Amino acid sequence: MPINSRVIDNPKSDRVKRVAGLASHKTRERVGRFLIEGPQSVREAVRWRPDVVQDLYVQEDASPAVRGIEEESQDSTIYVHHVTAEVMARISKDAQGIVAVGNAAAMDVSPESLEIGPGALVAAFWQVRDPGNAGTVIRAADAAGCAAVILVDDCVDRLNPKTIRSTAGSLFHIPVLTMGTDEFFAFAAARKMPVWAADVYGVPGREPEALPDVLANLGKDGQGKGGKDERAPKAVLFGNEARGLEPAELERCERIVSIPIYGKAESLNLGTSAAVMLMSLAMSSHAGTIWAV
Amino acid sequence: MPINSRVIDNPKSDRVKRVAGLASHKTRERVGRFLIEGPQSVREAVRWRPDVVQDLYVQEDASPAVRGIEEESQDSTIYVHHVTAEVMARISKDAQGIVAVGNAAAMDVSPESLEIGPGALVAAFWQVRDPGNAGTVIRAADAAGCAAVILVDDCVDRLNPKTIRSTAGSLFHIPVLTMGTDEFFAFAAARKMPVWAADVYGVPGREPEALPDVLANLGKDGQGKGGKDERAPKAVLFGNEARGLEPAELERCERIVSIPIYGKAESLNLGTSAAVMLMSLAMSSHAGTIWAV
């Protein structure tokens, strides 16, 4: 609500140093705050998760678009501070006139509270390490209407500034959780969600099923050849960007599904694979009645 | 075939300057050569288009993987030069031990010579300006088994080093042509390829059709609601990464197809849109008999 009337003009002030320090994982852990950079991410945070946003730092000569975000923030208890261009440059190279400081604890979601409706899709990523990839897959999961994203095992921090930028706001649209591997499979079992592995290799004796065949059968029995309740939710688990999933994880998955490559390309990258797999499943379930004819 | 026995160790030599200069568009135009950087791109060039590759520059302390590429190049008339780490650093920051110099003219494909078989898919991109995006969409088109990529109107240079890196070798797997807008539509008409626009807005009086509906009907009549020859090839035209397609281009397209967004994400980026649309169409045509049941 309140706009601080004094323009912050000292790039060496403690406050400015504290905000700039949120680029570091250690500092984020210690102070429980994180940085949201740039108009797109800040706008989506203010719009969808005003409860998360504590402070807004707006460059004094900001564009009308940025001013609009500042205005929108006034419906909530968000503190606005105007800063000089020099101060903003010290805070972030990717501000484009605006950053926000968020409360990390407010981003936490307990697995128990997750709403996973009939037919819902949950996107899970095992050991995704690159911040840009993590953001891209969260955005793809959002576009596909996933109920949640689960970062499994040792993944990049979902509050890494580069991850947030790469989500293009999607971090504030859907719940993003982190879990250990055992915890993830236990969670899926408790929610009666079969886990499908997205993987091109499979394990000895278990060739992956091709995605087009899986899609073609989805409309008929809801779970493809395995045939269970058509409206059961499911989780799709993707592997590390370089190494994929390991046999131990694959063995625990109900099905293994691969995206076919029709040309000479060796593979699709993680972001593209996630988008193709999740959007295909979403499109087939949304066109369910048509696919079944 | 021949390996030059003398190691190039002078980063200021004319030859090294000439190769490094290929990072510039102007120089590429003037000398008709282009730069291929890094093991993945160079390997695919050597393997699929040895006719294009003229010289290989290999760092003297290169990895066994890079040595393997050098060895593979010896089946063709490719000149190999060993260089010091210092020279390689001068040539390219993205070499990872190996670069190649290619002959630009050998990459040219005449539209008349293009083989576009029954049911083939051609991916066309209008005014794509970002080198990374151009590379990503060429890779997606390759994965989807497209017969060709056409860069329409004022696009980034397909021989831009960053574009080549982003294709992950796909530039050497499928023909990539450049055409003017009129030339592209005339080419499609001459080849009896309907052009589908990938676009979320459409034009007044013409709402886009949703991709899942289009896919669901594909198996039945080959062209969806418009229903023509099931095995006709088709071209899908994507717009500029920021502005999409303009009404003038949309009006010239037979159909307008949009990818639905199910969550709160505003949009998919160009690379993701191309992958989802092209892979969906490819998967549906490859699973044609199944989709039709």
Sheet holding A121-126, edge to edge: A176-179, A148-152, A121-126, A234-238, A195-198, A255-258, A209-210
| Cβ within 8 Å, pair A291-B216 | yes
Higher pLDDT, B99 or A293: B99
| DSSP per-residue letters across A102-165 | EEGGGG---GGG----TT-EEEEEES---HHHHHHHHHHHHHTT-SEEEEESS---TT-HHHHH
Percent of chain B with pLDDT over 90: 86
What's the token pair of residue A159? 């509050």
Mean pLDDT, to the nearest integer, of B212-232? 65
CATH code of residue B99: 3.30.1330.30
**A58-62, A223-227, B50-54, B107-111: segment of lowest average pLDDT:** A223-227
Residues of chain B with C-beta less than 8 angstroms from the C-beta of A267: 143
Nearest CA in chain A to B278: A276
pLDDT per position as a tens digit, B39-57: 999 999 999 999 999 999 9
The per-residue b/e assignment along A230-239, b for 16 or more CB within 10 angstroms, e otherwise, is beebbbbbbb
Clarify whether residues A97 and A117 are in a common domain: no
Examine the domain organization and report whether B60 and B192 are in the same domain.
no
pLDDT, residue A1, reads 59
Query: With bands split at pLDDT 50, 70 and 90, how would you rate the model's confidence at A218?
Result: confident
Average pLDDT over residues A123-134: 97
Domain that holds residue B95: 3-107
| CATH number of the domain residue A200 falls in | 3.40.1280.10
- The rounded distance, in Å, linking the Cα atoms of A158 and B40 is 30
Claim to verify: residue A74 and residue A117 sit in the same structural domain: no
pLDDT in tens, A184-199: 999 999 999 999 999 9
A165 and A246 both lie in a single domain = yes
Q: What is the pLDDT of residue A220?
A: 60
Judging contacts by C-beta atoms under 8 Å, the chain B residues touching residue A265 are: 139, 142-143, 168-170, 173
Last residue in a domain, options B88, B107, B126? B107
Nearest CA in chain B to A146: B263
Each residue's pLDDT tens digit, B149-163? 999 999 999 999 999
Both A103 and A137 in a single domain?
Answer: no
What pLDDT shows up at residue A222?
46
> Structure tokens of B247?
């009404």
Share of chain A above pLDDT 90, in %: 86
Domain count, chain B: 2
Q: Kindly state whether residues A37 and A157 are assigned to the same domain.
A: no
Task: Please report the pLDDT score of residue B273 as a whole number.
Answer: 96
Q: Which residues of B touch A216 (CB under 8 A)?
A: 287, 290-291, 293
Using alpha carbons only, what angle is made at residue B160 by residues B92 and B252, rounded to the nearest 5 degrees? 165
Q: A129 CA to chain B: closest CA distance, Å? A: 20
**Mean pLDDT over residues B213-234, rounded?**
66
Is B279 in contact with A283 (Cβ distance < 8 A)?
A: no
Reported confidence tier of residue B219, pLDDT bands at 50, 70, 90: low
Final residue in a domain of this structure, among B107, B131, B161: B107
pLDDT of residue A219: 58
Largest CA distance in chain A: 68
Chain A contact probe: residue of B280, B283, B285, B289 with most A CBs at under 10 A = B283
Task: State whether A24 and A152 are in the same domain.
Answer: no
Residues B144 and B83 in one domain: no
Residues B123 and B237 in one domain: yes
Average confidence (pLDDT) over B229-239: 85
Tens of pLDDT along A1-34? 577 878 999 999 999 999 999 999 999 999 999 9
Say whether A265 and B170 touch across the interface (CB within 8 A).
yes
Interface touch B283/A173, C-beta < 8 Å? no
Question: For B10-20, how does the pLDDT look when each residue is reduced to its tens digit (9 = 90+)?
Answer: 999 999 999 99
Closest CA to A42 of A25, A63, A13, A17: A63
Q: Which chain A residues are Cβ-neighbours of B268 within 8 angstroms?
A: 139-140, 143, 275
Please state, rounded to an integer, the average pLDDT across all residues of chain B.
Answer: 92
pLDDT digits (tens, 9 = 90+) for B250-284: 999 999 999 999 999 988 999 999 999 999 999 98
Cβ-defined contact of B170 to A140 (cutoff 8 Å): no
Q: Which two tokens stand for residue A116?
A: 């996973």
What mean pLDDT do residues A285-293 have? 46
CB contact (8 A) between residue A286 and residue B260: yes
B86 lies in the same domain as B137: no
Decide if pLDDT at A293 tops 60. Answer: no
**Claim to verify: residue A134 and residue A231 sit in the same structural domain:** yes
Q: Which residues of A touch B (CB under 8 A)?
A: 48, 136, 139-146, 168-170, 173-174, 211-213, 215-217, 259-268, 271-272, 275-276, 279-280, 282-284, 286-287, 290-291, 293
The pLDDT of residue A289: 36
Q: B76 and B115: one domain?
A: no
- Inspect the interface and report whether the beta carbons of B212 and A139 lie closer than 8 Å: no
Cβ neighbours of A279 in B, within 8 Å: 259, 276, 280
For residue B100, pLDDT over 60 is answered with yes
Q: What share of chain A has pLDDT > 70, as a percent? A: 93
DSSP labels, A60-79? TT--HHHHHHHHHHTTTT-E
Complex confidence, ipTM: 0.90
Nearest CA in chain A to B282: A262
Q: How far apart are CA A234 and CA A224, in angstroms?
A: 12
Least confident of A219-223, B33-37, B267-271: A219-223
Give me the residue label for tokens 């790469």: A166
Which of A46, A24, A22, A41 has the alpha carbon at shortest distance from A33? A22
- pLDDT: which is higher, A215 or A230: A215
Q: What's the rounded Cα separation, in Å, for the pair A199 and A259? A: 8
Q: Considering B74, B107, B140, which residue would you say is the last residue of a domain?
A: B107
